[in-house]
Amino acid sequence: MDAMMPMPALRPWIADVLLLRPDSALPLVHLPDAATALVYRRLGTGGGELRVVGPRSRASYHPGKELPLCIRLRLRPGATRAVLGVPASELRDEAVPLTDVWGARAGRLENRLDELTDLGPILRSVEAALFESLPNATVPSDRLLREAVASLSTTYGRVGALAPRLSVSERHLRTLFTDQVGLSPKRFARIQRVRRVLAGAGSAGWARLASDAGYYDQSHMTADFHHLMGASPAAFHAGRLPATTPCAA
């Protein structure tokens, strides 16, 4: 994967942009992810398609594939409704054509992208369409959500302890996350912890990684990891993955 910077005007809404390089010889692994993403992939037929991938509550494994081009733009938590016009809760564990969300406008964008050959112009065209969709181009300003996301992404605190600290009820915090992020605060924190373990695998022992990621102990980490990834940390790191299933997306 190659990381690219989104255009400056979109950085309040776009967390990162990645050029993906699928390999047909390797399984395609979709990790648990709290972010909604917009994906453009150029197919072997020469044409391309835009898809919206909602937050993934668990990992999934699919047969490998090769694509001439695949770009993924991950939205920041809370940006889905502003950028795409739908709440993140409607996209959880879904991958749908952008035409299902934007209608004919998405079809026209796909046609424009099909006429381009270079990565730069393709990415800028997608970004321009996203920027045009923003109402008055106002920067997201939900302070409560930003603070909750930051806390659950770094300290992995319990929702019961976080809500009073933010001067809101647990119910309000859950409602906010479910609508704007597409996941409950607890699921969001679990995904962030597992992704931290994934990022650190091989750099330290499992017990140290468990502690750094906020788990009670290594067995707690292993159970949580297996629940979201379908394999233990050691098995996943060694390449012993669950069986693949056909990918509908």
In this prediction, residue 161 carries a pLDDT of 84
Predicted TM-score of the model (pTM): 0.89
Q: What is the pLDDT of residues 16-26, one digit of tens each?
A: 999 988 777 78
Distances (CA, A) of 246 to 12, 26, 65, 91, 238: 35, 14, 11, 20, 23
pLDDT tops 80 at residue 139: no
Cα 152 to Cα 107: distance, rounded to the nearest angstrom: 37
Instruction: Please give the mean pLDDT across all residues of the chain.
Output: 90
Mean pLDDT computed over 41-56: 89
Q: What is the pLDDT of residues 110-128, one digit of tens each?
A: 999 999 989 999 999 999 9
- Residue matched to tokens 């809370």: 78
Mean pLDDT computed over 189-215: 92
pLDDT tops 90 at residue 36: yes
pLDDT tops 60 at residue 13: yes
